[in-house]
């Protein structure tokens, strides 16, 4: 995400495993949306609203206006099962920026149609 002051920052999904049970349950549906659904090309209609949501989160936390949001998917290849001892987990991730969205000042105002 590019901010108005020229800095680039990374916003990451909230880590669900770090929440207690009562905070985890309502947020789990958003984790599923971000990780399992929203990065598929068939769901591209969701990307502008997702970018706006992320921009509002960062603006609320920092007070600095985001001007551009890029959505990036990260993944790691998993080797096929084997009867040999398991290989060490990969620390190499692949990435693909699949969407970039310019943020307008009006995008940072929650009109009540989405939960902030």
Q: How far apart are CA 58 and CA 102, in angstroms?
A: 14
Task: Report if residue 16 sits inside a domain.
Answer: yes
Q: How far apart are CA 4 and CA 6, in angstroms?
A: 5
Task: Report if residue 100 sits inside a domain.
Answer: yes
Nearest C-alpha neighbor of 52 from the set 13, 106, 89: 106
pLDDT over 90, % of the chain = 41
Task: Report if residue 115 sits inside a domain.
Answer: no
Query: What pTM was estimated for this model as a whole?
Result: 0.76
Say yes or no to pLDDT of 10 above 70.
yes
Place of tokens 């290989």: 87
Q: How confident is the model at residue 97 (pLDDT cuts 50, 70, 90)?
A: very high
Task: Report if residue 113 sits inside a domain.
Answer: no
* Tens-digit pLDDT profile for residues 17-36: 888 888 887 777 777 777 77
Q: How far apart are CA 17 and CA 35, in angstroms?
A: 14
* Tens-digit pLDDT profile for residues 66-90: 999 999 988 888 878 877 887 777 7
Structurally, the chain folds into a number of domains equal to 1
Task: Report if residue 114 sits inside a domain.
Answer: no
With beta carbons less than 8 A apart as the criterion, state whether 93 and 76 touch.
Answer: yes
Task: Report if residue 116 sits inside a domain.
Answer: no
Task: Report if residue 51 sits inside a domain.
Answer: yes
Residue 7: domain span: 2-79+88-108
């Amino acid at each position: 995400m590019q901010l108005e002051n020229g800095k680039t920052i990374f916003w990451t999904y909230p880590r669900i495993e770090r929440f207690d049970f009562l905070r985890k349950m309502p947020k789990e549906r958003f984790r599923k949306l971000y990780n399992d659904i929203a990065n598929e090309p068939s769901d591209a209609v969701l990307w502008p609203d997702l970018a706006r949501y992320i921009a509002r989160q960062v603006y609320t936390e920092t007070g600095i206006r985001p001007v551009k949001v890029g959505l990036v998917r990260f993944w790691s290849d998993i080797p096929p099962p084997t009867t040999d001892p398991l290989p060490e987990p990969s620390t190499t991730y692949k990435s693909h920026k699949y969407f970039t969205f310019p943020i307008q000042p009006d995008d940072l105002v929650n009109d009540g149609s989405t939960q902030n």
